Amino acid sequence: MVNIYKPKFSLLQQEILSYLMAHAGKSFNARGLACPLSRTQAGIIKAIPELEKSGLVKVSKDKDSGRWAIEFNRDNPKAIELKRIENLRLIYDSEIVKFLEENFPGTTVILFGSYSYGEDTIRSDIDFAIIGCKEKKVELNKFEKLFEKEIRINFYNNFEDINNNLKSNIFNGIILAGRIGL
């Protein structure tokens, strides 16, 4: 496949941003990012200023030790928009959509809640609504380890069974499979 888009950030900067998005709400020093990304601290330190300048990460220095505290900037609407895109990419790359479609054929699968909005933190869960079938137990451990988050599946026979506040939240989510008929 030909990449028709010119990346704004280097591969390392993209990896840093992706890692910080997955661990939103937690701050890291340069070493704390270098180890899980299998990169050097010097490389991390060199890559961070451009991410900070773009407003996607926040960097503060400890006045005693001089260490950086680097975290995803959840106050920037553009950063949240990019996180939402990254979350959706991870959902499709993990093949959880395929898994849910195979286990619940003919249903509507909707990703909703903070994860679908890009507003999730490291403590958030991932919420799915399965509409059109009764509750069925499925093994999600593989996906929970991959996302490092608890996955909750809510089952509904039809849209009429859902209370209005929850229905609004679900309708503001992302349809991954099936259709909504009003």
Quote the CA–CA distance of 109 and 176 in Å, as a whole number. 5
pTM: 0.87
Between 178 and 72, the higher pLDDT residue: 72
CATH number for the segment(s) 11-73:
1.10.10.10
Q: Which backbone phi and psi does 166 adopt, to 5 degrees? A: -65, -40
- Residue 6 pLDDT level (bands cut at 50, 70, 90): low
Q: Residue 36 — φ and ψ, nearest 5°?
A: -65, -25
Mean pLDDT confidence for 88-94: 95
CATH class of this structure's domain 79-177: alpha beta
Residue intervals in the chain for CATH 1.10.10.10:
11-73
pLDDT in tens, 8-49: 888 999 999 999 999 999 999 999 999 999 999 999 999 999
Which has the closest alpha carbon to 68: 35, 45, 84, 47?
45
Counts of helices then strands in the chain (DSSP H, E) = 8, 6
Q: For residue range 134-148, what is the model confidence (pLDDT) as tens digits?
A: 888 999 999 999 999
Q: What's the confidence (pLDDT) of residue 61?
A: 82
Token pair of 20 as six digits: 């910080």
Inform me whether the pLDDT recorded for 121 exceeds 70: yes
DSSP reduced 3-state for 1: coil
